[in-house]
Structure formats: C-alpha cells, structure tokens
Amino acid sequence: MRLILKALGTLVVLLLAYLAFWPVTVQPVAWDAPESPGYTGDFAANTRLAALSFTDIGDHVGPEDADIGPDGMVYMATHGGDIMRAEVGGADAEMFANTGGRPLGVEFGPDGTLYVADAFRGLVAVARDGKVSLLADTTDGGSPIRYADDVDIAPDGRIYFSDASTRFGARAVGGTLEASVLDLVEHSANGRVLVHDPSSGKTTVFADGLTFPNGIAVSPDGAHLLVVETGEYRVLRYALQAPDAAPEVLLTNTPGFPDNINNAPDGTYWVGLVSPRNPVMDRLSDKPQLRRVIMRLPDAMKPAPTRHGFILRMAPDGTVLETLQDPDGGYALTTGAITAADGTIIVTSLSEPRLGYLKR
C-alpha cells in the first residue's frame, strides 16, 4: 500500500508540474472582461431562427459568409476552399470556384469581381468566369497576412479587410477555429485592419492593436468603417477620412462572440454572434497564468463553442433593433446574415453543412 501511495504522489507531482510549467504557444495578457448581460434586455432569447429553411451545400461545411452576385444568386465560402452558389432559397448549391485556401469573407465589387478574404492565402479576387488571382499576401512593408478574415469595398474602390491575428496564422496552426481560440485566449491585441488600393496595388495598415478584428463593413455613404472586435465583444466605427482618430464604440458587451457584420438594404447592419461567451474564460481574464494552465488541459477539457444561433440587426448608431435566435442550436455557430432583394434573410454559419434562409 505504501508503494501505491508513493506512486500516486509522484503522479500528482508530475501532473501539477505539467500544468504549471509545460510550454504552450500562447502568452496570455491580463485584461478586464465586462460582466456579460446574458440573454436579457435587448438580447432577450427568442426562437425566431428556428423557422429557418435550408440550402444544401453537399459535402461542404461552414458557409462562413455570403453575398448576392450580379446574377442574383447567393455565393458563399466553404471550409474546403470552394465558393458555392445557389438560387436564393434554392434547395441545392453548385460549385463556382476554388480559392486554393480557406475563404472566409466574400464581397462583390461593382464590376462583378468577387473579393475574398482567404485565411490561408490573403486577399483574393475571383473573376466572373471563376478565375482566381491573388491580390495580396503581405502588406506593402512586407508583413505577412496570416489570417485574412472579412472584406468590404468602399465607394472609392479601396478594399478593406481584417487580418484577425498576426500571431497565430490560420494555416500555420491547422485551421481558422484553432487559430482564433489561441488568439482569444492570449488576448494580446495583435490584430489589424488592412486596406488594398487596386489603382496602386499597395496594401497598407489602416488600424492595428485590435483583439481579433473580424467582420468589416463600410457605411453606405463611405464615411465610416465598422469593425467587429471579437475579443472585446464589441463593434467599432472608424472615420475613413480621419484614420488616426480613435474609433467610436457603437455596440459593446454582447452576450456572445460577435463575428461578421454586413450592410442591410435599409441602412442598418446584421451582426452574427457565433457562440455564447464562456463564463470561465471571462472570470480568468485578469489571470493570465491560469489561462496558460487551461491551454495545457486535454482538448476535451478546454473551452469550446456553444450552440446558440444568434443574429442581430443594429442601427447606424449601435442601437439593437431586433435579434433572431435559436437557443436550442438547431442552426448554430451563426457568423452573420445578409438580405436578398426579395427580403429573404440569409444566415451563415461557421460549421453547418447548409446555408440558412428565412422569408420575412
């Protein structure tokens, strides 16, 4: 019995040493997470997303973002690199192009070119015939673009897109979800927003020091750029004519991780909340050493996304106008939404094998 107790004691010491000292890739930074409002008030739970219908995308998963093409069809990114397209509300989708990477944000330009923020490759353009070309995988200063996330186009033709993490590249660490978890746990505010000028071919830094900047939307008048800062649970607004000015906080302290943002036809914005916040990680926000311990746990014990479908519509001043939710998670890890010409709401997802749509 004494030998057994000694062996158990040795195992406990080794386990504690592992949890305390084993090297991990993240270097967590202390911050102060606001107390979550939960699903109350403007965010009160409802079941409006439970009425979704679906477009099947075959063997593909993760229609992360979507846009309506010049032909009236809806185009969507998928995990395997394929850009799929379908009739709005159609039952099935077909392949349009493959970026050769991991497309996330998609946005059509006025000439019908589809611009893609590809997490593995950078900023990519897809012509009407499906031909793919790389526009930028580094900034003009030579800094690599490690995690292109979302994209939008200003009226003057400049292309804004987020580089969510300069520390954890999506390709380098094995995927977009894996990289996002590492960046959010570390919380070192290393993300940035880039701008590509098609006339000069230059790609420069518009804003940096952001904690996983994600969704991007240029206001209809071209005066402002809205940026979803996922790691801070908020939406920022930058004045495009005053890039050095501090951004305005439009929406803050959301009950989940905000993801994409897209313009709606009436001048409002759709924002997706991909998953509820993790209360344990919020409580450990000012305890970086304990967050390092969390990263040493087996994957099954680490924080993981929770299934709760959620999109919200926001006024230009940040007022929450409505939410559409599915607390049961029938269609979950919702990244955002767009509105089709007939008013259909098209709902995107990080992981679903289908595209959701809701008739108004």
Query: Is residue 117 within 8 Å of residue 140, measured between CB atoms?
Result: no
**Phi, psi (rounded to 5 degrees) for 76:** -140, 145
The whole-number pLDDT of residue 304 equals: 84
* 35 band by pLDDT with thresholds 50, 70 and 90: very high
Q: What's the pLDDT at 15?
A: 41
pLDDT at position 52 over 50 = yes
The DSSP 8-state label assigned to residue 197 in this structure reads E
pLDDT computed for residue 1 by the predictor: 64
What confidence tens digit (pLDDT) does each residue in 219-239 have? 999 999 999 999 999 999 999
CB 104 within 8 A of CB 64: yes
pLDDT at 299: 81
Domain range annotation of the chain: 2-358
Q: What is the pLDDT of residue 16?
A: 39
Per-residue pLDDT at 24 exceeds 90 = no
Kindly state the tokens that stand for 98.
Answer: 């493959």
- Tell me the C-alpha distance between 175 and 119, whole Å: 9
* Continuous segment of H or E residues that includes residue 159: strand 159-163
Residue 192 confidence class, pLDDT cut points 50, 70, 90: very high
Q: Please state the length of the chain.
A: 360
Element (H, E) at 208: strand 202-210
CATH code matching the domain that covers 2-358, chosen among 2.40.128.110, 3.40.50.300, 2.40.160.50, 2.120.10.30: 2.120.10.30
Mean pLDDT for all residues in the chain: 93
